Amino acid sequence: MIAYLQNIAVLFCINAILALTLNFIMGYAGIFSLAHAIFFGVGAYATAYIAMHASDSLLLCMAASAAISAVLSMALALPALRVRGEYFVAASLGLQVIGVTIFSEWKSITGGLGGMIGIPRPKLWGYTFNDDTAFLALAIVVLGIVVGITALLVRGSFGRSLMAIRDSESAAQTYGKHVNAIKTLSVAVAAGLAGVAGSLYAFYISFINVESFMLETSILLMAMVIIGGTGTLFGPVVGAALLMSLPAALTYLPFLPPTELGSIQQIIYGLAMVLLMMFRPGGLVGGRSKEKSA
């Protein structure tokens, strides 16, 4: 039972990091990306590759994952600078599909559909995180750091610039903000931190394949952000906690046939998305009349 709860807690930390970083671009910069799972995946594959072929040092793998994700995020920043709204959503969808194809077909690096098996647990200053409790502590620390970074960025002048761009790009430009640089940087930060989450995930599960980084994951993350409340600091964390506890709670309902649990869970996600958008578009944490521009 303890092990089960620990497992959920670690996965919650990872998903909370992803939701936080997605919210950073969605809620504050107005960049509605449906390709977040790709950067999660890039981080996971980078860590897996380095840990299996070079070194299992925690800091090295995480830094490399973050850097590679941040660099590759330029593929997302490029359309973000050119188009907005529907067009950007379409571009990010395109990126998501292309990314999944690359994950499943670039066999020499990603292991193809079979994925990568046997990723070792990370080492930090000679200590190996073999124990799950220790790993949970690590995940909580990383989550704390990510919360800290996003809170600092959002509260500071960078965050205000971002929100100004979200609300009116031309007005922000008139005030001398470097719109393109700020947007690119925000995408890179979000993707880099998503890469860190990917790194944690690969170390924890020790097996990764493309299944974890499909469009469904991107949508689940988006649902976490939206259900929690876009543009709020703790909304995404609340959303992640809700959506993570849902499957666990469903297994305790005796009258549901176990084979249909997955479908029922998905239907509840979908229903929650529809009803929230209809009656509370600001999310659970956000205010009801929150004005969002797209």
Partner 1 sequence: MLFAQLFINGLQTGALYALIAAGFSLIFGMTRIFHAAHGATFTIAGYIFYECYSVLHINWPVAALAATIAASVFGVLLDRYVYSIIQRHEGSFFTVFVASFGMAIIVQNLIAMIFDRGAVTVSTPLSKSLEVLPGLYVAPIAAVVIVCAIVFFMALQWLLTKTSMGIALRALGENPTLIEVYGLTPRLLSQYVFLIGSILVVPAAILTAATSGLNPAMGNHVMLISIAATIVGGVGSLRGAAMAGLILGMAENLCLAVIDPQWSEAVTFVILFLFILFRPGGVYGRAVVS
Contact footprint for partner 1 (CB under 8 A): 32, 78-79, 82-91, 93-95, 97-98, 101-102, 104-105, 169, 215, 219, 222-223, 226, 260, 262-264, 266-267, 269-274, 277-278, 281, 292-294
Residue 19 CB, nearest approach to partner 1 (Å): 15
Q: Give the whole-angstrom CA distance, residue 248 versus residue 268.
A: 13
Q: Which is nearer to partner 1, 144 or 270 (CB)?
A: 270
Residue 68 CB, nearest approach to partner 1 (Å): 20
From 150, 106, 122, select the one nearest 48 (Cα to Cα).
Answer: 122
Q: Which is nearer to partner 1, 66 or 220 (CB)?
A: 220
| Opening angle at CA 207, ends 17 and 251, nearest 5 | 70
Q: Which is nearer to partner 1, 95 or 244 (CB)?
A: 95
Residue 64 CB, nearest approach to partner 1 (Å): 26
Residue 38 CB, nearest approach to partner 1 (Å): 12
On whether the CB atoms of residues 198 and 39 are closer than 8 A, the answer is yes
Residue 241 CB, nearest approach to partner 1 (Å): 19
Q: Which is nearer to partner 1, 122 or 282 (CB)?
A: 282
Which residue reads 């469009």 in tokens?
215
Burial of residue 35, with CB atoms counted within 10 A of its CB: 0-12 exposed, 13-18 middle, 19 or more buried: buried
From 121, 114, 132, 129, select the one nearest 55 (Cα to Cα).
Answer: 121
Q: Which is nearer to partner 1, 1 or 278 (CB)?
A: 278
CA 247 to chain centre: 19
